[in-house]
Structure 1
Amino acid sequence: MNIFPTLHTERLRLRELTPHDAPALFAIYRDAEAMPWFGIDPMTDISQAHALIATFAHWRTQANPGTRWGLEYAGELMGTCGLFKWNRQWNSCALACELAPSARGSGLMSEALRSVLDWGFAQMQLHRVEALVHPRNLPSQALLGRLGFTREGVLREAGFWAGGYQDLHVFSLLAHEHVKVSR
Structure 2
Amino acid sequence: MTNANTADAPAETFPFLTTLRLTLREIVPTDAASLLAIHGDREAMRWFGNDPIASLAEAEKMVQTFAGWRQPPVLGTRWAIERKQDRRLIGTCGLFRWNRNWKSCTVGYELARDAWGEGLMTEALVAALPWGFESMALNRIEAQVHPENAASLKLLRRLGFVEEGLQRQAGFWWGEHHDLVQLSLLRHEYSSGEQL
TM tier relative to shorter chain: over 0.9
Written as runs of structure 1 = structure 2, the 5 A alignment for 1:1-183 is: 1=8, 2=10, 3-61=13-71, 63=73, 65-73=75-83, 74=85, 75-180=87-192, 181-182=194-195
Query: 1:147 is aligned with what amino acid?
Result: L
Q: Is the 8 A contact 1:15 1:72 kept in 2?
A: yes
Range that drifts further, 75-84 or 42-51: 42-51
Q: Is the 8 A contact 1:64 1:87 kept in 2?
A: no
Two-structure CA RMSD over aligned residues (Å): 1.2
| Uncovered stretches (5+) of structure 1, i.e. residues with no partner | none
SS in 2 for 1:35: coil
SS in 1 for 2:46: helix
Q: Is the 8 A contact 2:81 2:89 kept in 1?
A: yes
Equivalents in 1 of 2:164, 2:73: separation in Å? 27
Q: CA deviation digits over 1:71-127, x for unaligned, max 9? A: 010211010000001111111100000001111111110000010001111111110
More helix by share: 1
| Uncovered stretches (5+) of structure 2, i.e. residues with no partner | 1-7
Q: Is the 8 A contact 2:158 2:195 kept in 1?
A: no
Figure out how many residues of one structure are paired with residues of the other and give that number.
183
Equivalents in 1 of 2:158, 2:94: separation in Å? 18
Q: How many percent identity over aligned positions?
A: 51
Query: 1:18 is aligned with what amino acid?
Result: V
Equivalents in 1 of 2:70, 2:61: separation in Å? 15
The alpha carbon displacement at 1:172 in A equals 0.2
